[in-house]
Structure formats: C-alpha cells, structure tokens
Amino acid sequence: MPTHDSNQIKRARREENQSEHDTTVVSTTNNAELDNEVDSLLDEIDEILEVNAEDFVKSFVQKGGQ
C-alpha cells in the first residue's frame, strides 16, 4: 500500500541524486528531462487504466488452454 511516507522517501531520494550532480549542469538537465519524459508517459497511461485495479484483476479468470 503506498503511504504518504514512502512517497516522501522516493521524492527525497530523487532530490538527493540531483544535488550530487549540481556541479554538472548537463547531468541535472538530463535527469530533469528524463523525469519529465517518464512523468508525461505515466500521465498518459493513467488516463487509460481501468478503474478499480483490484476488482478488475481479480475478475480476469481464464480456462487453461494449450
């Protein structure tokens, strides 16, 4: 279960990584660009995800085939 705390930890880790590269402008820019790319991809996927993940996955039951 995602908790508020673990979100903070993830964000903190990302900020930590970025500050290590503060001396190199290019790296920081690349990190930020990559993050933006991933974020926009995830936003697009968010839009098409089925609602109620747990129920949806639970109800996907198949008979065995070959």
* Closest separation in Å from C-beta 38 to another protein: 5
Binding mask 39-58 for another protein (x = CB under 8 A): x-xx-xx--xxx--xx-xx-
What is the spatial distance between Cα 4 and Cα 22, in angstroms, rounded to a whole number? 27
45 and 24 in contact (C-beta within 8 Å)? no
The yes or no reply on residue 16 touching another protein (CB under 8 A) is: no
What is the spatial distance between Cα 27 and Cα 45, in angstroms, rounded to a whole number? 27
> Which amino acid appears at position 54 of this protein?
E
Binding region for another protein (CB under 8 A): 1-3, 6-7, 9-10, 14, 38-39, 41-42, 44-45, 48-50, 53-54, 56-57, 59-66
